[in-house]
Amino acid sequence: MGTDIHAFIENRSSFDSGWRTQSEVFLERDYRVFSALAGVRAAEDDATVFDPRGFPEDASGLTQLAYYVHIVSDQEFVANGLSRFVRASEVAAIIANGGHYRHKSKKLVSHPEARRPSWLTISEIQNALSTIGIRNETLGVNWQLTLRSMQAIETEFQSKVRLVFWFEN
């Protein structure tokens, strides 16, 4: 079974009070990149440039919606719907396995399969790629488009931009 990355481009201009989701991006598996960005699937000779920072407390609403699940009591009936959930009896195992509650909330917990959440700016991602000797043009097309989009948001719109991500097996 492979490891996948879940990622969202977020931006914030100087007059915005919070981060906004620009887009969810579907990035190719590239274990060299995963290793450099967060130490995920690192082989013995792979470099980890950035250790995971954790899920940002100020993440945009859409990013939080994708990352967190609702906690419901073990007895509560839940009809099929759009909301993802876990039973209260499952929360201790999620926490023991590296999960966490949402900032200032005991009603939401990180998705049971989410691992090593983090975020990086475009310059940090470029630094990580340069450190491990990867040029942008050698990346998969989705990685290239994501990096170009982040660069354009930062340069053309003079906004702060970051990639919020986590991994699932």
pLDDT score, position 117 = 97
Listed as ranges, residues in the chain with pLDDT below 70 are: 1, 42-46, 79-83
Q: What is the pLDDT of residue 104?
A: 81
Residue 154: per-residue pLDDT = 95
Give me the pLDDT at residue 124, please: 97
Predicted local confidence at residue 146, as pLDDT? 98
Condensed to tens digits (0 to 9), the pLDDT of residues 71-110 reads: 888 888 776 665 688 889 999 999 998 999 898 888 899 9
SS3 7: strand
Q: Residue 37 carries which DSSP code?
A: H
pLDDT at site 81? 60
Interacting residues of 33 by C-beta distance below 8 A, sequence separation 6+: 128, 129, 132, 134, 139, 143
